[in-house]
Structure 1
Amino acid sequence: MPERPKITKELTIGELSERSGVSASALRFYERQGLIHSRRTTGNQRRYHRTTLRRVAFIRAAQSVGMPLECVGYVLGMLPPDAELTREFWVGVSEYWKQEVNSRITKMERMRDRFTECIGCGCLSFEQCTLVNPDDMLGAQGPGPRRLLAP
């Protein structure tokens, strides 16, 4: 019977990169952002707990559907650093993200519906500006596309 490979509790950055399909530079970036963490050996080398594999997969999946890393960090912050991602965690995340996704949908619909008219400060349509935003009144509300950012 073939011998099974030994499963270690910790991975080097190279092993984590190979197993996750994420470059070492991206892993270091995730670590700087507080999304994953490592411990340092006496030689100052990073060692990642095995649970980091699932965290990296979670981060990549979230990014693939357009979730900002800030949102990913928020939900990962609900867990202790080496905790496994459980069903209860996923239920909590889905509830939080449902609100985030609905907010994004609302913003995208507003952009779709108002894209061709003046969007306030930084206007895209100078011809309509005097009709929709006379004397740049929206500029007094602050910088950026006021009509698109409005709730």
Structure 2
Amino acid sequence: MTDDADGRHRADEELSVGQLAERGGVTVSALHFYERQGLISSTRTPGNQRRYRRSVLRRVAVIRAAQRAGIPLALVADSFSELPSDGVPTQADWQRLSEHWRGELDTRIAALEKLRGSLGGCIGCGCLSLAECGFVNPNDQVAGTRPGARAFDRIDPTG
């Protein structure tokens, strides 16, 4: 890395994919995936190596935080489309981005609270009936539509 006269890293320096991975706490393959999804972008050197602006570090941090919160990457991409593509987004930009996620998080929290409230009753009831179980198959949503437990993955947990 190039340092200035005081030994600090230059703000305009671009990072290699390995440097960004190390600094961002992600794997190189994750960065390639984020780039394919349009979440981050790079330029290429004459030797065809990727280079990332330092501002991409902040985007990677936001992507990681969103993933920890369970925010789908498609929603992250939608939010990022409203941010400036060059330079570092402002505090107001990040505030708008977080507002986009508030509804998604509120929905997930409500679903988890409902799940937590129902879980004890389900375990305690002992019905073992997938057709009648209000926890696994609320209102018999999958009756006659498809066989097997795979169908339960598509049930809306908010009922």
TM-score interval w.r.t. the shorter chain?
0.7 to 0.9
32, 53, 56: which one aligns with 1:52 = 56
Judge conservation of contact 1:63–1:69 (CA < 8 Å) in 2.
Answer: yes
Alpha carbons of 1:45 and 1:149: their partners in 2 closer, same or farther (altered >3 Å)? same
Judge conservation of contact 2:21–2:27 (CA < 8 Å) in 1.
Answer: yes
> Structure 1 regions of 5+ residues with no counterpart?
118-123
Question: Is the helix fraction higher in 1 or 2?
Answer: 1
The yes-or-no answer on 1:111 pairing with 2:115 is yes
Partner SS for 1:9? coil
Q: Distance in 2 between matches of 1:140 and 1:42?
A: 59
Over the matched positions of the two proteins, sequence identity in percent amounts to: 40
Other-structure match for 1:144: 152
> How much has 1:92 moved relative to structure 2?
0.8
TM-score when normalising by structure 2? 0.70
The yes-or-no answer on 1:75 pairing with 2:75 is no
Q: Comparing both chains, which one has the higher relative contact order based on Cα–Cα distances under 8 Å and sequence gaps of 6 or more?
A: 1
> Structure 2 regions of 5+ residues with no counterpart?
146-150
Q: Distance in 1 between matches of 2:100 and 2:16?
A: 32
RMSD (Å) for aligned C-alpha atoms: 3.2
Partner SS for 1:56? helix
The yes-or-no answer on 1:127 pairing with 2:129 is yes
Partner SS for 1:47? strand
TM-score when normalising by structure 1? 0.73
Partner SS for 2:89? coil
Counterpart AA for 1:139: V
